[in-house]
């Protein structure tokens, strides 16, 4: 923002703009200086939604929700680079939730149209927190996910045993509901600042969320994923999915 | 596509053709021709929009840019507003979709299908898909009542064979009454040489125009790439409805 523009502002807005310019540029510089390769890789993960967007373009739900899923990932990186780790995590919860909704809505066009106009009768009618019902039973019933859970080691299962997805969802929810360990401010530090331990905590969660989203989309759209070009499938698996065990299971199921 | 290459095409091929079209088909008295433009472009090299504006051929309000990437769309929307930015999917995949987001914006005066700007993956079958997309674009333009327009097609021609038999098969699967179809024997089923691929693209475009009752006056240019074996090849055509 130009100094000339700032000088014309009212005093509180001027103070805010002055201060923001300082802490934002310092946090961004410190983060990029320490983690440029890591941030680059996370951006590559976010860009995988270009492939999903292209592959699922005939789905109304995908057309509306994938841009939001991308934007949550992008904004999460943006916030984290400015030291706003709590808000970076909130974006991840939103991203995961929207991805689960995409899977549900892709085969529930009527419910999708209700949801688009804000008709959330399921909250009372189904007594459920979300469109897919209570818990994660809906996803466990999907044939692709069932097969994946069968061939995956117990320690790697998404919904059963290891409960990877419910666990990360719960972790991210503590940021939404402001659990004390997820506060943005610390007793000894108030301003948004690059902190290596907070960066790595967020970085791990970001990679984990992208990984589960890519796995779930590949399994839920099991008719579409194998039809992608070899290069696209390899990108999704090698860049998008974290654990070697998960990568192998997806390769196995998609005949790669 | 790199900035220098695009400037080269703009100066030597695209703009001369567009000006020629403007003089023949757009209101001569108007200071700004306000051409309705669709351009496949990228977030860094979108200078064709500025050049068209400088030459008083269009205004930003008349431009729709298409880009394959959420990130690029994010940046382009900021940079070229109030132009519209569509996409995040591959245009050549979207053209056949019943829910093509820009379908109701057709017809355009200028359609710049610069696939080299869309981070092409250079996989086998890429050019064949792009040629099919040319036909899809002509069809939509025709259905929307587009009588006369400029179409530019730009691609990277590398060492991969061009599968002419699949070009013929795809095109001939779209039947048009009175059109006998592309002839499979016009080119070998697999085309190897750069020059033959360029000739095939140009001649196929001309035939596709005939199929949709258009005449096509085209010029082309190939520019040798310095970082990989092959060319950027561009065809710019004034397309006019026959008998109009």
| Tally of domains within chain A | 1
Mean pLDDT of chain A: 93
Interface touch A231/B88, C-beta < 8 Å: no
Predicted TM-score (pTM) of this structure: 0.92
Q: What is the CATH number of the domain that holds B51?
A: 3.40.50.150
pLDDT class of A181 with cuts at 50, 70, 90: confident
* Tokens (6 digits) for B188: 């070998």
Domain count for chain B, please give it: 1
- Residue A67: its chain B contacts at CB < 8 A? 70, 88
Q: Which two tokens stand for residue A152?
A: 């995956």
Query: Do the domain assignments include residue A183?
Result: yes
Are B159 and B233 within 8 A, CB to CB?
Answer: no
Q: What is the 3-state secondary structure (H, E, C) of A161-205?
A: CCCHHHHHHHHHHHHHCCCHHHCCCECCECCCCCCHHHHHHHHHH
Tell which of A54, A74, A224, A229 to mutate to test the B interface (max B CBs under 10 Å): A54
d(CA A191, CA B242): 69
Confidence of residue A8 (pLDDT cuts 50, 70, 90): confident
Residue A74 to residue B74, Cβ atoms within 8 A: yes
| pLDDT at position A126 over 80 | no
Q: Does B141 touch chain A (CB under 8 A)?
A: no
Looking at the predicted structure, is the pLDDT value of residue A101 above 80? yes
DSSP 8-state assignment for residue B114: E
Is A133 contained in some domain? yes
Instruction: With a cut of 90, say whether residue A157 has pLDDT above it.
Output: yes
Among B88, B97, B98, select the one facing A50 at the smallest CB separation: B88
CA angle A51, A56, A57 (to 5 degrees): 100
* Lookup result for tokens 């051929």: B57
Is A122 exposed, middle or buried (CB count within 10 Å of its CB: 0-12, 13-18, 19+)?
Answer: middle
Phi/psi for B36 (5° steps) reads -85, 120
Confidence label for A244 from pLDDT (cuts 50, 70 and 90): very high
Q: Percent of chain A beyond pLDDT 70?
A: 97
- From the list A58, A74, A229, the residue facing B99 with the nearest CB is A58
Query: In this predicted structure, what is the pLDDT of residue A40?
Result: 98
pLDDT value of residue A239:
98
Does any domain span residue A10? no
ipTM value, please give it.
0.90
Residue B183 sits in which domain range?
Answer: 3-241
For B199-226, the DSSP string reads HHHHHHHHHHHHHTTEEEEEEEEEEE-S
Closest approach of chain A CAs to the CA of B117, in angstroms?
Answer: 15
Which pLDDT does position B138 carry in this prediction? 98
A47 touches B at CB < 8 Å: yes
Tokens 């306000």 belong to residue = B34
> With 70 as the cut, is the pLDDT of residue A6 above it?
no
State the pLDDT at residue A23: 92
**Is A234 touching B (CB cutoff 8 A)?**
no
CA atoms within 13 A on the CB side of B129: 16
Residues of A in contact with B88 (CB under 8 A): 50, 53-54, 66-67, 70
Question: CA Rg, chain B, in Å?
Answer: 17
- pLDDT (tens digit, 9 = 90+) per residue, A62-75? 999 999 999 999 99
Distance between CA atoms of B176 and B208, rounded to whole angstroms? 11
Give the span between the Cα atoms of B28 and B12, in whole angstroms. 23
Residue A24 within a domain: no
- Tell me what percent of the residues of chain A surpass a pLDDT of 90: 79
Q: Is A118 left (phi over 0), alpha (psi -120 to 50) or beta?
A: left
Q: B70 and A70 in contact by Cβ < 8 A?
A: yes
Nearest to A57 among B69, B70, B94 (CB): B94
Residue A190: both structure tokens together: 């108030």
Q: Each residue of B171-219: pLDDT tens digit?
A: 999 999 999 999 999 999 999 999 999 999 999 999 999 999 999 999 9
Token digits of residue B63? 């431009």
Check B70 against A47: CB less than 8 A apart.
yes
* Residue B32 to chain A, least CA–CA distance (Å): 33
Instruction: Say if strands B231-241 and B148-157 run parallel, antiparallel, or are unpaired.
Output: antiparallel
Question: Which segments of B26-83 does DSSP mark as H helices, in order?
Answer: 47-54, 70-80
Give the position of tokens 């005949």.
A255
Residue of B nearest to A54 (CA): B89
Q: Write out the residue range of the structural domain in which residue A155 sits.
A: 35-254
Q: Is the distance from CB of B242 to CB of B214 less than 8 angstroms?
A: yes
Q: Which of A97, A107, A96, A95 is nearest to A144 (CA)?
A: A107
Strand B84-87 and strand B190-191: pairing?
unpaired
Q: Which of B43, B70, B87, B118 to mutate to test the interface with A (most CBs of A within 10 A)?
A: B70
pLDDT recorded at residue B33: 82
| Residue stretches of chain B with pLDDT short of 70 | 1, 28, 244
């Amino acid at each position: 923002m130009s100094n000339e523009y700032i000088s014309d502002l009212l005093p509180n807005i001027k103070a805010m703009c002055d201060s923001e310019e300082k802490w934002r540029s310092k946090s961004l510089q410190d983060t990029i200086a320490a983690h440029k390769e890591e941030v680059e890789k996370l951006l590559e993960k976010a860009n995988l939604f270009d492939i999903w967007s292209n592959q699922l373009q005939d789905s109304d739900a995908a057309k509306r929700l994938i841009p939001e899923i991308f934007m949550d990932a992008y904004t999460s990186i943006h916030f984290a680079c400015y030291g706003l780790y709590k808000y970076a995590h909130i974006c991840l919860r939103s991203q995961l939730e929207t991805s689960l909704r995409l899977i549900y809505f892709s085969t529930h066009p009527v419910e999708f149209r209700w949801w688009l106009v804000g008709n959330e009768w399921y909250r009372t009618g189904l007594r459920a927190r979300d469109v897919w019902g209570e818990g994660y039973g809906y996803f466990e019933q999907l044939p692709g996910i069932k097969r994946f859970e069968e061939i995956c080691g117990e320690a790697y299962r998404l919904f059963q045993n290891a409960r990877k997805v419910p666990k990360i969802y719960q972790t991210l929810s503590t940021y939404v509901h402001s659990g004390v360990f997820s506060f943005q401010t610390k007793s000894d530090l108030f301003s948004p600042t690059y902190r290596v331990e907070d960066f790595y905590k967020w970085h791990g969660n970001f990679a984990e969320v992208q990984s589960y989203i890519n796995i779930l989309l590949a399994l839920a759209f099991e008719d579409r994923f194998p039809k992608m070009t070899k290069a696209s499938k390899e990108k999704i698996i090698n860049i998008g999915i974290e654990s070697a065990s998960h990568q192998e299971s997806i390769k196995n199921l998609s005949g790669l | 596509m790199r900035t220098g290459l695009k400037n080269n095409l703009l100066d030597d091929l695209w703009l001369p053709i567009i000006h020629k079209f403007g003089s023949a088909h757009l209101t001569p008295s108007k200071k700004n021709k306000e051409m309705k433009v669709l351009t496949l472009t990228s977030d860094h090299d979108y200078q064709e929009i500025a050049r068209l504006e400088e030459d008083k051929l269009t205004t930003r309000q008349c431009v729709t840019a298409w880009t394959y990437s959420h990130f690029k769309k994010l940046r382009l929307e900021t940079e070229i507003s109030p132009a519209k930015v569509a996409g995040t999917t591959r245009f050549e995949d979207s053209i056949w979709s019943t829910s093509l987001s820009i379908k109701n914006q057709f017809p355009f005066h200028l359609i710049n299908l610069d696939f080299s700007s869309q981070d092409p993956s250079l996989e086998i079958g890429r050019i064949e898909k792009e040629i099919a997309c040319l036909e899809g674009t002509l069809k939509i333009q025709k259905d929307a009542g587009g009588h006369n327009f400029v179409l530019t097609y730009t691609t990277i021609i590398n060492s991969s064979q061009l599968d002419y038999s699949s070009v013929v098969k795809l095109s001939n699967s779209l039947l048009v009454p009175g059109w006998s179809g592309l002839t499979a024997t016009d080119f070998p089923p697999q085309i190897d040489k750069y020059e033959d691929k360029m000739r095939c693209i140009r001649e196929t475009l001309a035939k596709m125009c005939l199929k949709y009752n258009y005449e096509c006056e085209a010029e082309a240019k190939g520019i040798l790439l310095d970082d990989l074996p092959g060319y950027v090849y561009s065809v710019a055509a004034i397309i006019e409805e026959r008998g109009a």
